[in-house]
Chains A and B, each alone.
Chain A
Amino acid sequence: MSWLSRLTPRGPGGRSSRNVAPSSPCTADPETCLMVFENHWRQVSWVLEQQDPSSSSDDLTAVRNHTDQMLCLLAEERPGECEGPPGAVTSGNVPPIGPILDLVVSENVLERVVQWHLRRGLDPDSQGALLKLFEMLIGQSQQPLLQHKAVLQPLLGLLGACAEPQLGCPPSLENSLVLLLNQICVSMARAPAVLELLFRSAPAQHGPTNLLIFSLLVPFIHRDGAIGQQARDALLLIMATSASNQGVARYIAENSYFCPVLATGLSALYSSLPRKIEVRGDDWHALRREDWMGVSSLVLFMNSLEFCNAVIQVAHPLVRRQLVDYVHNGFLVPVMGPALHKSSVDEMIASTTYLDLFLRSVTETSLLKAFLRFILVHRHDNDTILDTLLTRISSNSRLCMVSLSLFRTLLSLNCEDLMLQLVLRYLLPCTHVMLSQRRAIRDTDLYGKSADKFLSLIPDCCRLSTAPSAEREEEPALWGKALNSPSSESPVHHKPSTPSRLALFMRQQNPGGGPSTPSPTETVPSSPGAGPNTPLSPDSPMHPIPEGLDWESGYLEYLRDARRGVELCSWACRNWSAPYDGEDPSPNAAPLPPPPPTSNPSLAMFPEHFSFQQGEGGGGGSTSPSQQRAAVVAAARSEWSSTERDSGEWDVTIGENSCISLTPRTKKRSLQREDVHLPKPLHLTPDSASLPDPSPHLRSAPTKGAQQAINGTLLGGQGDRCRDSQDGGMEVKKVKRELGEQQHPAGGDSSQNGEVSAFPAPAQSCGSLQGFYSEGNGSGTAESSRGLPPHKPSHTQTPSASLLSEPRANSSNDRLTLRAAASSPGSGPPEAMLSTQSEAVERLISELLDGAGPGEGGQQGPGDSNGQGISIEAFTQELRELEDRVRERSKGVGLFRQLEETTRDPHSGEPPPPSLLDADLMGSGVVAGVVRVFRPLGQPSTQPYTGPFMVVLFAKLENMLQNSLYVNILLTGILGQLACYPQPLLRSFLLNTSMVFQPSVKSLIQVLGSVKSRIETFAASHEDFPAMLKKAQRYLAARGKVDWADSPMGMPTLRRSDSLVKSRKPSLGDLILRHTNSPTRARHAAQLALAHVRDGGQSLHSALFRGGTGASGLEKQAEALRVKNAVYCAVIFSEFLKELAALAQEHAVSMPFLQSHDTEE
């Protein structure tokens, strides 16, 4: 059998046959081998010495055959020291190399062979043969070869030929080439000195690209399949080997195209990703591994991304830095940025999902930093990516879900910079709390007061009392029982119970190690059925799901979860630069956070604009006054819708005795203005002083506009719904409304209380606007006009919009509305807001509210100490109708989205929208925005605003009843995540229910209170609510069980199979994400869960239909969906409250972690 025939069958990876050939005759007898070798060499050199350039193909064949055999002999030769016969080694080399190698070196065999080949012109055939030969030689050699110039030089000569443009490497040989390169890198990794040799001894003619292997490999970085993988592996080896070699690193960074190719390759690969993600279940919100494993383009991308990550992990800092920069500047900014701003909803969904996936895949800190920097700092069309992403939350359904999922990923990074931008910078100035409350920011809730409040918000209708077990002997926390005197012994051996309590003991038992651990726990008399040490008796599958779920028992699980969450989070935050406790960083030194309109003009950037602006890459990015105004317009517009909403809003106040009072928002506002001592910026006098007469003529114009606007918003929903059926742009309208809502807390108030000083003419105002914001972070212009481009194009849809976007076209008009709006706040009392709105609509609403008011007050009165007793019957039918109508109009879009139905909301009897709706809206909307923007001029730092993130989350939360189950799961999950953060500023904002905030700041507890009342209203209106609720609970519990039962995460103690607890939190995709290692299991789980989804849905539907409404089929369906969402919401809501309560409790007992200066993690 010839050597050659042995060679030829070898493809990449077919090497094993070689390694098992130590018994070949030549290894058995080195001397014979040498003789054979010499023999071959003699014949080859005879050919080589022929100076005849036109050597025949016979010569070639001969040389090839002989070379093959020679190299095989060389490869199999063992180094001299092992068993070389004395005669062979006596040649005197200190490192005893084998005799054949010795000969090869002394005669320069390889060099001559290669040169011969090159001289006569390398045909692909022999090029391939040589590549394979060298690959075999290097891969198989028993002794290190590359240190020898006699091997290295010819190798580089060959490779040099491959790199030459005129010869190059034909595609058919790429495999061989890469395999050879791979082998070189492998042996280089074994003997790092080779790297230096490779680096130094490159042929002169290759000039700057003196790391030949490297430049040959780079083109294969992004290749598909094995060849790409080998190239990447090889490169990674070089990276790792060169990590400590400054010279090579500099070469890679400065003279090779490695980093640019790698990074921009990502861009190329990204562009081939699917623009639209086909979605199956309605719970889908994130790409799991098995989702993308089947998509080759995504696999390709992920391979390259993971390679980037790996390179950054191992490479020299120089290379690392360069690569990170290139990823940022060559991929994220030019590709990801625009992709995230694509115009169609599908593309937004896709890009958001991709970003989420990328963030989850990247593990290297510096690469993550690039991503985060991109998200937080980079401005695309004057908006930070973060701003853009924030707007998506307020959209509807899928886009919202993927955005929430992205934010969940972001939050899980526990990154200070992110949290700063997202939330903390808005809380830093502490303007959101009453001055007197600032000191309370650091307070911990020692006595569970906050937890109590949260739990008290669980609607009565959600407390399904199971079979009332009479013996309540065993309290969950018996440990808390008194053992009051020294002599008293507790009759029962009480056990530690709560997680924190347990932890307390664990920590004491543990340091001592096993033996010293006392075993009192095993003497537990009361362990349930299961054996004493069964780790999970309550959780184990054996524990039957009780008829009426073990509803309250979940609390302990929540405590444990909360403990874990808080602990992990504070551990992850231990290296933050500051404690964020209201003192450090100092509230006074804190830079002014961007105020609502400009900080997140994106909020005013309604997704429908995206749908409209097809093909517009986002519009021009310059910051012309017209754009600034456009931003203002957009912001104002959302504001309008907010004021409209406002009248239908309820504010919930939790009183001292946890009484809950509902107040119509508008009224409450005015009340507050009277009662509460407002800090400087909010006082009224300036308004009234300079605007003594909100004269009718001034008002008339805006009022008209407003009326249209109101109608517009109200009706627009329907219009959009119809439109949606065509282009999927449903999100749209809803967002706008929510925007209004979000902006409301700050915006609504500020416009009411707006200073007159903030009342310049438009032209002037643009300038001052800029001036004011420039103190933000130096990018004032950009900030003030962010979010414009998207608006501008969209506005051009309607005539008046286009007018608006013209610089001065209607400045007078502007001014008029502006003043009008400013005047309306000045008019003081409740009417302030009303006056700017359609009288008719307002009257209707306020009438209804008034009607509801007394009843509610009455219920509240009877000293129902816990505030649960607002008896729902007392809510009049009007109230319900009102609520329904308001809610349906403004928020109920989600239902329809899912139903994809085009009919109108059965509850709203509004006529179709006027066509110029948007334009009108804008026209009148200018007002509030402008006013709001300029108001801060006087007192820059005092406008309380908790930031777009909080605002949008709260808005979404308030809307819980209409959200789909999955949105609610994600939403509450994110809020739960936020509530884990130990920073007092954030913790107090979310969890301290005793905190008194500025009137314009909505607190979590307020939002929850309003959800509660909505749920109760809903429950009261549906007789079969308890039955439905039970079904929903059972379904969710089953779902949780499916998801958790076969979680491969180990940790069988991880609970949750028996309660809804967990089913609430991660949604399907998330749960399945856990199964990344086992796609089949994952799929199984998914199927099961989905089946449940359907079942659950079905049963709810049927439950509903039993009491058939006699409506049309479509309406029925819509109603069914509405009911379904509401019922699920009730379940989720109660669970969420328990979670919040548990978090509040755990925060009180958590210990901070020390800063770790060692970064050994």
Chain B
Amino acid sequence: MNLNPFWSMSTNTGRKRSDGEEQSGEQQQQRASPARPSFGKKQLPSIPKNAVPITKPASPAATAQLANGTHASYGPFYLEYSLLAEFTLVIKQKLPGIYVQPSYKSALMWFGVIFIRHGLYQDGVFKFTVYIPDNYPDGECPRVVFDIPVFHPLVDPVSGELDVRRAFTKWRRNHNHIWQVLMYARTVFYKINTMEPLNPEAAVLFFRYDKDVQLFKSKVVDSVKLCNSHLFDQPKMDDPYAISFSSWNPAIHNEAKERMFTHKRRPEDHQKGLQVSGLSWVKPGSTQPFSKDDNPPLS
């Protein structure tokens, strides 16, 4: 089942031209327009339809907490919003070649995929999952686990977990953000570090890179191939928002792609009749009202 056209689409387009410079440009575009504008697509009514029923009944109970804490009842909102804020930051960062999306079941688990455009791991498409500790942001740093253990000095050959902690020895709220972890996960494939490896074999091989170039390279290539061969597998996690790939189907994907590129984000319940808005006659660089030239720009 193709639960998620958005992702399957983007991955497909991504893979098709996984190298070349236009990639980054397109990437930008993708991050800039489709991901973001899609915010505007949703319709307000469906929100309550989908979820309010679940959350609302719980809230009266929240009052129970009033006795011991002033606002403890709102606590859960904070965590959720913190994670959403982190996610918003990720979107704003426009990390090249990285896509993530929180799981349906928990805000603390994000699904992601990373596309490697050049270097040793060129053409690699690695799915991963980010696990965020539930005492975030006061806990440890989030964990990144690849679905398939990639052959890499910093990736545990068994669990597939990336050694993130070496970069974030102590997770500092306000300073460390999840996008940095994602950024790190990307960098790892372009700049290989072999200190205290999780995968000693890879590290050793890489260490002797000069001699065993071919050996290391071939291991990497094999690993990349392996990963890519499992690309179309069902997601490991049974979650509606797990990232799943499907092969390009023009009937579905062309249209979706088209829509993504033409879509303009609008406020959720933006009504057509919304009065003139966004009035501004301030000349950029000026702070005087009505400083703009009078050729009516907002006809």
Contacts and interface: CB of A to CB of B under 8 A. Distances in A.
Do A and B make up one complex?
yes
A457 to B, nearest CB: 9
B78 A451 contact: yes
Contacts of B251: none
A967 B237 CA distance: 54
Which 10 residue pairs of A and B lie closest in terms of their CB atoms, listed nearest first?
Answer: A506-B42, A482-B134, A538-B56, A448-B78, A477-B76, A417-B289, A572-B277, A553-B59, A474-B58, A512-B5
Interface stretch (A62-70, A361-369, A728-736, A938-946): A361-369
A526 B74 contact: no
Contact of A524 (B36, B54, B101, B289): B54
B268 A503 contact: yes
Contacts of B274: 568, 1161
B92 A1151 contact: yes
B103 A483 contact: yes
A726 interface: no
Contacts of A445: 85
B212 to A, nearest CB: 32
A739 interface: no
Interface string A478-495: 111111111001100111
B38 A508 contact: yes
B276 A458 contact: no
Nearest to A568: B267
A577 interface: yes
A511 B53 contact: no
A551 B63 contact: yes
A477 B45 CA distance: 20
A490 B106 contact: yes
A693 interface: no
Interface in B253-268: 256, 259-260, 263-268
Interface stretch (B18-26, B117-125, B202-210, B279-287): B279-287
Contact of A563 (B6, B49, B237, B268): B268
B41 A507 contact: yes
Contact of B71 (A455, A501, A524, A553): A455
A455 B70 CA distance: 8
A471 B174 CA distance: 34
A531 B81 CA distance: 28
B8 to A, nearest CB: 9
12 contacts: A368-B279, A373-B289, A377-B289, A417-B289, A447-B82, A472-B64, A490-B105, A497-B55, A508-B241, A535-B45, A552-B66, A590-B287
Interface in A346-367: 363-366
Contacts of A413: 275-277, 279
Given A479-B80, A490-B106, A511-B5, A553 B279 contact: no
Interface in A400-444: 412-418, 420-421, 424-425, 428, 444
B158 interface: no
A1159 interface: yes
Interface residues of A, number: 139
A377 B58 contact: no
A546 interface: yes
B281 A538 contact: no
A548 B82 CA distance: 31
Contact of B278 (A424, A460, A572): A572
A477 B71 contact: no
A428 B40 CA distance: 31
Interface in A528-566: 528, 530, 532-539, 546, 550-553, 555-556, 559-560, 563-564
B62 interface: yes
A476 B107 CA distance: 13
B44 A564 contact: yes
Interface stretch (A50-58, A164-172, A197-205, A514-522): A514-522
A750 B45 CA distance: 52
Contacts of A476: 55, 58-59, 62, 73, 76-77
B67 A468 contact: yes
B190 interface: no
B81 A469 contact: no
A884 B71 CA distance: 29
Nearest to B52: A538
Contacts of A504: 84, 87, 102
Interface in A1127-1161: 1141, 1145, 1148-1151, 1153-1154, 1156, 1159, 1161
A594 to B, nearest CB: 13
B104 interface: yes
Contacts of B3: 516, 518
A526 B54 contact: yes
Contacts of B287: 420, 424-425, 428, 585, 590-591
Interface string A561-588: 0011001100111111110000001000
Contact of B77 (A465, A470, A555, A866): A555
A483 B241 CA distance: 14
Contacts of A528: 53, 56-57
B43 A501 contact: no
Nearest to A518: B240
A415 B298 CA distance: 12
A1026 to B, nearest CB: 13
A1076 to B, nearest CB: 12
A642 interface: no
Nearest to B263: A511
A1149 B109 contact: no
B46 A506 contact: yes
Contact of A416 (B38, B84, B131, B279): B279
Contacts of A572: 277-278
B76 A480 contact: yes
Nearest to A1158: B264
A1150 B73 CA distance: 23
Interface residues of B, number: 116
A510 B38 contact: yes
A446 interface: yes
B45 A550 contact: no
Nearest to A414: B277
Given A484-B134, A528-B56, A576 B278 contact: yes
A534 to B, nearest CB: 7
Interface in B230-263: 236-238, 240-241, 256, 259-260, 263
A279 interface: no
B183 interface: no
Contact of A1151 (B65, B91, B131, B237): B91
A472 B61 contact: yes
B161 to A, nearest CB: 9
B290 A417 contact: yes
A417 B106 contact: no
A725 interface: no
A446 B79 CA distance: 9
Contacts of B52: 535-539, 556
Contacts of A518: 3, 104, 240
A899 interface: no
Contact of A479 (B5, B88, B107, B133): B107
Contacts of B259: 511
Given A505-B50, A538-B56, A572-B277, 4 more contacts: A368-B279, A416-B279, A550-B60, A1149-B81
B166 to A, nearest CB: 21
B270 interface: yes
Contact of A1148 (B61, B88, B137, B286): B88
A1159 B299 contact: yes
Contacts of A516: 2-5
Contacts of B44: 564, 1051, 1053
Contact of B80 (A466, A498, A591): A498
A278 to B, nearest CB: 29
Interface string A7-44: 00000000000000000000000000000000000000
Contacts of A499: 47
Contacts of A1148: 81-82, 84-85, 88
A534 B48 CA distance: 8
A556 B39 contact: no
